[in-house]
Amino acid sequence: MNIGNQLRKLLEQDGITQKQLAKDLSISTTTLNGYVKNRRQPDATTVIRLASYFHTTTDYIYGLTTLREPMDTPYNADERHLVNIYRNIPKDKRPLFVETGKTFSSFKDNE
């Protein structure tokens, strides 16, 4: 978990200072700076507030996903399985996996 990196990215992307964020969330600048520098970990309620403030997900704040925008619909079990397969494939082999998926997606359902 690297919440500090995520917070730095969000602050930079949105052009917000740590001082402004601390004020908006009613937390001390020292506390926020501890989060940004990975010296402290926010509690779950604070992570939820951060995600809400930046219009993202708690998974993004925790660094568990690189997708900042929340998904409209969550993955079902099969989709999660495919994502996990993809993530475990060596990076140089991922394009083959994607191309195979494109081939399968071009098949028409005969039902």
Query: What is 3-62's CATH number?
Result: 1.10.260.40
Lookup result for tokens 């071009």: 106
Quick one: DSSP state of residue 75? -
Separation CA 70–CA 54 (nearest Å): 11
Residues whose CB falls within 8 Å of the CB of residue 89, separated by 6 or more in sequence, listed in order: 97
Separation CA 91–CA 36 (nearest Å): 30
pLDDT at residue 87 in the model: 85
Q: pTM (2 decimals)?
A: 0.64
Sketch the domain layout of the chain as residue ranges: 3-62, 75-111
pLDDT at residue 48 in the model: 95
Per-residue pLDDT for the chain (111 aa), expressed as one digit of tens each?
Answer: 689 999 999 999 999 999 999 999 999 999 999 999 999 999 999 999 999 999 999 999 998 888 787 766 677 888 888 888 888 899 999 999 999 988 888 887 654
Residue 22 neighbours by CB distance under 10 Å: 17
pLDDT at residue 33 in the model: 96
